[in-house]
């Protein structure tokens, strides 16, 4: 198959970017989207041009490194996959594909399609942990946890921190990401002790870093490659309110 690619090129955070058009040909359906970009880059290098910078690492949909806004959707047209698991059989021969970085104020572009998502780390540092220091844990089976809760906690914990939710949201809200972490811990007895403080600190950090508000359009859930549910947002709102009630007393 042959494709026309319109790709966002930007030398660094400091300079303005623009779209450039490229062609790739002879791509098989079993080639992944990123492998298609590899092919383009090999050609660019051979021609003495600079390859397109994009983030990627595991290429199996779990590390959350890959991103890309493809034809107007984070991680492209398929539901519930990361860009690295998108295959070219999903496109038609001759298609024009528009490739942009994840765009959001708290995710500045570093180069071409690479953005800085370290704000997510900062939110976790603000409270996304259980303070269990090494060495003083009780036996793992000391506290039985109902399977239902464990499973729900897992569903929330499956977030890969890719940032698609932020890129999908018109307000660049990080509510899905933050609520997934808050829910993961709120659903487990180990996480209850610090629950109040956690939700307050994480939300405060999220606001401070310039993420927008949630106006319940749920584009985040639709675009999440891991199917993280907006139920978590509701749970976090409850957690946040009850924490507020207690501290306001």
Partner 1 sequence: MTTLDPRIPEGPLAQKWTNFKAKAKLVNPANKRRLDIIIVGTGLGGASAAASLAEMGYNVKAFCYQDSPRRAHSIAAQGGINAAKNYPNDGDSIYRLFYDTIKGGDYRSREANVYRLAEVSNNIIDQCVAQGVPFAREYGGYLDNRSFGGAQVSRTFYARGQTGQQLLLGAYAGLSKMVSKGKVQLFTRRDMLDLVIVDGKARGIIVRNLVTGEIERHSAHAVVLASGGYGNVYYLSTYAMGANANPAWVAHRRGAFMANPSFVQIHPTCMPVHGEFQSKLTLMSESLRNDGRIWVPRKIEDARKLQEGKIKANDILEEDRDYYLERRYPAFGNLVPRDVASRAAKERCDAGFGVNETGLAVFLDFSDAIRRLGRKAIEEKYGNLFEMYQKINDEDPYETPMMIYPAIHYAMGGLWVDYSLMTTVPGLFAIGECNFSDHGANRLGASALMQGLADGYFVLPYTISDYLADQIQVPRFSNELPEFKAAEDGVRARLDRIMAIQGKQTVETFHKRLGRIMWDYCGMSRNEAGLTKALGMVQELQQEFWSDVKVPGGPGEFNAELEKAGRVAEFMELGELIIRDALNRRESCGGHFREESQTEEGEAKRDDDNFTYVAAWEYMPGNAPRMHKEPLQFEVVQLIQRNYK
56 binds partner 1 (CB under 8 A): yes
82 binds, among partner 1, ligand FES, none (CB under 5 to 8 A by kind): ligand FES
63 binds ligand FES (CB under 6 A): yes
208 binds partner 1 (CB under 8 A): no
Size of the site for ligand FES (CB under 6 A): 12
What DSSP assignment string belongs to the chain? --EEEEEEE-SSTTS--EEEEEEE----TTSBHHHHHHHHHHHHHHTTPPPPP---SSSSS-S-----EETTEET-SSTT--GGG-BGGGS-TT-EEEEE----TTS-EEETTEE--HHHHHHHHHH-S----TT-PPPTTSS---HHHHHHHHHHHT-----HHHHH-TT-B-HHHHHHHHHHHHTSHHHHTTHHHHHHHHHHHHHHTT-B---S--HHHHH-TT---THHHHHHHHHHHHHHHHHH-
Among 7, 64, 165, 206, binds partner 1 (CB under 8 A): 64
131 binds partner 1 (CB under 8 A): yes
Within 201-230, the residues that bind ligand FES by CB under 6 A are: none
Among 31, 65, 173, 232, binds ligand FES (CB under 6 A): 65
56 binds ligand FES (CB under 6 A): yes
16 binds partner 1 (CB under 8 A): no
140 binds partner 1 (CB under 8 A): yes
């Amino acid at each position: 198959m042959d494709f026309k690619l319109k790709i966002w090129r930007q030398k660094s955070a400091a300079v303005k970017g623009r779209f450039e058009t490229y062609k790739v040909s002879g791509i098989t359906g079993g080639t992944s989207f990123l492998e298609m970009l590899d092919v383009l880059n090999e050609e660019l290098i051979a021609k003495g041009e600079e390859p397109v910078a994009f983030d990627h690492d595991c290429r199996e949909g779990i590390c959350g490194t890959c991103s890309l806004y493809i034809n107007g959707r984070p991680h492209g047209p398929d539901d519930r996959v990361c860009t690295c698991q998108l295959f070219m059989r999903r496109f038609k021969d001759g298609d024009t594909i528009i490739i942009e970085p994840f765009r959001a104020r708290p995710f500045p572009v570093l180069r071409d399609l690479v953005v800085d998502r370290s704000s997510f780390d900062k939110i976790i540092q603000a409270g996304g942990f259980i303070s269990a220091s090494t060495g003083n844990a009780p036996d793992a089976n000391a506290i039985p946890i109902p399977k239902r809760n464990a499973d729900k906690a897992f569903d929330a914990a499956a977030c890969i921190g890719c940032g698609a939710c932020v890129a999908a949201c018109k307000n660049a809200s990080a509510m899905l990401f933050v609520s997934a972490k808050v829910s993961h811990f709120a659903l487990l007895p180990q996480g209850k002790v610090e629950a109040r403080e956690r939700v307050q600190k994480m939300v405060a950090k999220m606001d401070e870093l310039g993420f927008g508000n949630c106006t319940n359009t749920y584009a985040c859930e639709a675009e999440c490659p891991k199917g993280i549910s907006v139920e978590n947002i509701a749970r976090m709102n409850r957690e946040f309110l009850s924490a507020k009630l207690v501290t306001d007393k």
